[in-house]
Chains A and B, each alone.
Chain A
Amino acid sequence: MKSSQDQSELLLQAFRFAAGEMSAVEAEGFELRLATDLAACEALADAVLLMQSLARQRGVQGSRPSETVAPKVAVGAGYRPHWSSAVRVGLALGTLGLLVLIAVALVTSDRWVASLETPKLAASSTDDQVEHHQYSATAVAEQWTLLNDLNDDDVESYGGDETSRLAESTSEVDVPDWMLAALAVTSNQPSRSEELSPRSTNAAELDAEEDL
Chain B
Amino acid sequence: MSDKRGKRPSQDSGGLSETGEIAAGGVRDDEVSRLYVEYGPRVLAFLTGLLRNVEFAQEACQATFVQAMQNVGSIAEGERGHWLFAVARNEANRIRRRLGVEQRSGERALWEGWSSSESESNETPEQLVLREEEGDRVRKALDQLPEFQRQVVERRVYQQQTFAEIAEQLEIPLGTALTRMRLALSKLRELLLESDGK
Is the CB–CB distance between A69 and B159 below 8 Å? yes
C-alpha gap A76/B117 in the complex (Å): 26
DSSP majority for the A interface? helix
B175 to chain A, nearest CB (A): 11
Contact with B along A11-33 (1 / 0, CB 8 A): 11011111111000000000100
Chain B's closest residue to A7 (CB) is: B186
DSSP majority for the B interface? helix
Chain A's closest residue to B113 (CB) is: A55
Please provide the chain B residues from 16 to 75 with a CB less than 8 Å away from any CB of chain A in the complex.
41-43, 45-46, 48-50, 52
Knowing A11-B182, A12-B185, A34-B89, say if A61 contacts B135 (CB, 8 Å): yes
Is the CB–CB distance between B49 and A44 below 8 Å? yes
Knowing A59-B120, A64-B154, say if A4 contacts B186 (CB, 8 Å): yes
Contact with B along A36-53 (1 / 0, CB 8 A): 001001101111111111
A116 part of interface (Cβ distance < 8 Å): no
A89 part of interface (Cβ distance < 8 Å): no
C-alpha gap A100/B106 in the complex (Å): 59
Is the CB–CB distance between B107 and A19 below 8 Å? yes
Knowing A12-B178, A61-B139, say if A50 contacts B159 (CB, 8 Å): no
A45 to chain B, nearest CB (A): 4
Is the CB–CB distance between B159 and A53 below 8 Å? no
Residues of chain B within 8 A (CB-CB) of A140 are: none
Knowing A38-B85, A41-B85, say if A60 contacts B131 (CB, 8 Å): yes
Please provide the chain A residues from 65 to 110 with a CB less than 8 Å away from any CB of chain B in the complex.
65, 68-69
C-alpha gap A8/B180 in the complex (Å): 11
Is the CB–CB distance between B117 and A59 below 8 Å? yes
B13 part of interface (Cβ distance < 8 Å): no
B122 part of interface (Cβ distance < 8 Å): no
Residue from B85, B139, B163, B185 within 8 A of A57 (CB atoms) = B139
A50 to chain B, nearest CB (A): 6
Residues of chain A within 8 A (CB-CB) of B153 are: 54
B183 part of interface (Cβ distance < 8 Å): yes
Knowing A20-B106, A44-B49, A44-B50, say if A58 contacts B182 (CB, 8 Å): no
A35 part of interface (Cβ distance < 8 Å): yes
Chain B's closest residue to A11 (CB) is: B185
B4 to chain A, nearest CB (A): 10
B158 to chain A, nearest CB (A): 3
Is the CB–CB distance between A65 and B154 below 8 Å? yes
Contact with A along B119-146 (1 / 0, CB 8 A): 0100000000001101111110010000
Q: Give A contacts to B, CB under 8 Å.
A: 4, 7-9, 11-12, 14-21, 31, 34-35, 38, 41-42, 44-61, 64-65, 68-69
